[in-house]
Structure 1
Amino acid sequence: MPRTTTDTATGPSPAPVGRRERKKAATRRAIADAALRLFLERGYDEVGIREIADAADVSTTTLFKHFPVKEALVFDEDADQETHLLAAVRERPEGRSIPAALREHALTARLVSADGDARFTAFADLVTGTPALRDYAQKMWLRHTTALARVIAEESGLPADDPACTALAHFALEAPRAAYPHDTPREVVDRAFDLLERGWGALARSEA
């Protein structure tokens, strides 16, 4: 996935990374960058694993140690995505509702917001135009439902297994997919979150 410079670090500085970890990270980055370049040049279905490994100067065995399936080559920041997702709820400004925080996150998520970034636009077109990548991206994104529901419950003072928290988490993560076939993705996401905001607000009023 194209990397941006908008993410900011919070909390204490991370511990220094050892040489072996740096080498592994550099290898992973080289493989992902080579794969994305080839996919953008020729199309996802037209590029083989062997070609990607050769372009990154690694063996196919090494490639599969970092990326178990071909689709994963396009989405190499899954852990970071969950961290930012949960932080959007935990670190939202005072007075901002949870749906509003998730709306803002969705509108700045990399599969929804291009805003003139040619490299991002090409990446988004690759994903939305390739069924295998589109389906993989959504399945991967929905894996965060449990973690997000837990944080929503914590922030709302509700039981960890409250079905309303799970529902909000699920539909908030589903919302960006509705934007894929539309020319105005921001409007689509806004409409979806308008619905979630009203429903969550009604629940909060009934619980008060």
Structure 2
Amino acid sequence: MATTHGSAGSVPGRRERKKAATRKALSDAALELFLERGYDKVTVAEIAAAADTAVTTVFAHFPAGKEALILDDSGEREASLAVAVRGRAEGSSVLDALHAFFAGRAPFAEKLPEEYQRRMDLVMGTPALCAYARRVWVACADSLAELLAEAAGRAEVDDSLRVLARYVLETPDLASSCPDPRAALASAFHHLKLGWPGF
């Protein structure tokens, strides 16, 4: 019998499928409206109407508001950082793995799926979305510091690891504003490796 709840390898139940479909409909409606008219000129009520749902439904699925419709953070960032660190190739340093991880994401990746690229173009051209993106990445600092401690075989997170985690998560935001973002990202990680040679 198919499992309908959240165990690994389970098949999503009807409720989960409906929730995912509603979230996608809201996110897609928001993207189209933002691209057509500009982020600041679109209201949550208009997004709800475009997705044929209620304003309360928007906030039930995206309590952080309009920004989250484009940059939802339902644990994907922390999970992907964990995969990058724990799943790194043998002999690859943690900082090399994190550099490769960010280099494969917008705005550093040379080619992205069209829909994702449209979202990232919108984000990069909208100050409120850029600021929100930075906040959700920086919010991963504690979990990244724990991953760094784990990778180094340390029992506890210390101040050095907290600083390194914060620097790593701030680096993409800083590098993305440079004339050559990929080169700036590489330079930043080079300096991080000099400062934390064990990583």
**TM-score using structure 1 length:** 0.85
Deviation at 1:112? 3.0
Matching of residue 48 in structure 1 with residue 43 in structure 2: yes
**Structure 1, unpaired ranges of 5+:** 1-11
Deviation at 1:18? 1.1
* Contact 1:99/1:200, CA 8 A, preserved across alignment: no
Q: Deviations over 1:63-84 (max 9, x none)?
A: 1101121111111254122211
Aligned residue identity for 2:43: G
> What residue number does 1:6 align with?
none
In structure 2, distance between residues paired with 1:17 and 1:116:
27
In structure 2, distance between residues paired with 1:114 and 1:199:
28
Matching of residue 63 in structure 1 with residue 67 in structure 2: no
> What residue number does 1:115 align with?
111
In structure 1, distance between residues paired with 2:73 and 2:90:
29
What secondary structure sits across from 1:191 in the alignment? helix
Matching of residue 29 in structure 1 with residue 24 in structure 2: yes
Matching of residue 175 in structure 1 with residue 171 in structure 2: yes
* Contact 1:114/1:121, CA 8 A, preserved across alignment: no
**TM-score using structure 2 length:** 0.89
State the number of aligned residues.
Answer: 192
> What residue number does 1:14 align with?
9
Q: How does 1:150-165 map to 2 (within 5 A)?
A: 150-165=146-161
Aligned residue identity for 1:191: S
- Out of 166, 169, 190, the position equivalent to 2:186 is 190
What secondary structure sits across from 2:9 in the alignment? coil
**Structure 2, unpaired ranges of 5+:** 1-6
* Contact 1:88/1:101, CA 8 A, preserved across alignment: yes
Q: Whose RCO is larger (CA < 8 A, sep 6+)? A: 1
> What residue number does 1:105 align with?
101
In structure 1, distance between residues paired with 2:178 and 2:122:
15
Aligned residue identity for 1:44: Y
* Contact 1:175/1:192, CA 8 A, preserved across alignment: yes
Aligned residue identity for 1:21: E
What secondary structure sits across from 1:179 in the alignment? helix
- Out of 83, 93, 108, the position equivalent to 1:87 is 83
Matching of residue 143 in structure 1 with residue 162 in structure 2: no
Matching of residue 127 in structure 1 with residue 123 in structure 2: yes
Aligned residue identity for 2:15: R
Deviation at 1:159? 3.4
Deviation at 1:179? 2.3
Structure 1 residues 24, 156: closer, same or farther in 2, change over 3 A?
same
Aligned residue identity for 2:95: P
Deviation at 1:121? 3.9
* Contact 2:95/2:193, CA 8 A, preserved across alignment: yes
In structure 1, distance between residues paired with 2:130 and 2:52:
28
